[in-house]
Amino acid sequence: MSRDIKKVTLHILLLLFAAAAVVPILLMFVNSFKTGSELAKNAWGIPSFWTFSNYTSLVSFNSGILVRTFFNSVFVSVVYTMLTLIVSSAMLIMSLLGLPRAMWAGIACMSVCLPFTEDCKGRAGKRGMFNIVGCILFAVLYLILPESMYPYIGMIGGIGVGYSAGYAWQTAFNTFGALSIASGLFGMTGAVVLRIGANVFSSIYTMLANKLGDKLVQHMWVRKSAEI
């Protein structure tokens, strides 16, 4: 008897879970046949008048909703594919040259491109310039502080990033953490030269590649719009 009760209870719970998954989908499907005004008044009931206007407006080329959303998706996909190609190719160039810390180039490329590609030129200039500023500040701290204090330079940089409101000084203070680790591997001079070289190269490379990519995207967008 107890086993039957357990089985019934289990079946009831499974039915409840199934209903919780299926009912919202059915409700969404039924509501798709309502007008906007009826949906606001009667969100849970059966439509008083079944209309297919929502579907016809979606697929209609006159309204352009489907076409516009499709090409918006294509545009976003192309932009992020372009970003991926820029980052990966910059890291590949660093690796082919036999230079360590290829990830620095990739991070610099992403930093310059994001969040808006139209800001690429301004961010590229700040990335290159303030990496040099950050490297100079790091070198000064490295030379005046005792060796026992070297691990704290990265912490100083983290605090500086937290108190920096703008991209420029965040870039400068971000160098501290990277250089404090790299200096133990390549020496202070080698780490600074590598950091400046990777970031200046990545900034210039990203700006040029982004301009070329934007022209290709615009050309494709204009051509597809003309076809529509």
**pLDDT tens series, the chain, 228 aa:** 567 777 888 888 888 888 888 888 888 888 888 887 888 788 888 888 888 877 777 666 555 666 677 777 877 777 788 888 888 999 999 999 988 888 999 989 888 887 666 678 888 889 999 999 999 999 999 999 998 888 889 999 999 998 888 889 999 999 999 999 999 889 999 999 999 999 999 999 988 888 887 777 677 666 656 655
Task: Report the distance separating Cα 149 and Cα 36, nearest Å.
Answer: 66
- In this prediction, residue 64 carries a pLDDT of 61
**pTM (2 d.p.):** 0.63
Task: Report the distance separating Cα 79 and Cα 42, nearest Å.
Answer: 41
Long-range contacts from 164-172, C-beta under 8 angstroms, 24+ separation: 167/123, 167/126, 168/126, 168/129, 168/130, 169/130, 171/111, 171/126, 171/127, 171/130, 171/131, 171/134, 172/130, 172/131, 172/133, 172/134, 172/137
Task: Report the distance separating Cα 111 and Cα 108, nearest Å.
Answer: 5
Task: Report the distance separating Cα 201 and Cα 184, nearest Å.
Answer: 23
Phi, psi of 128 (to 5 degrees): -70, -50
Query: What residue type is assigned to position 132 of the chain?
Result: I
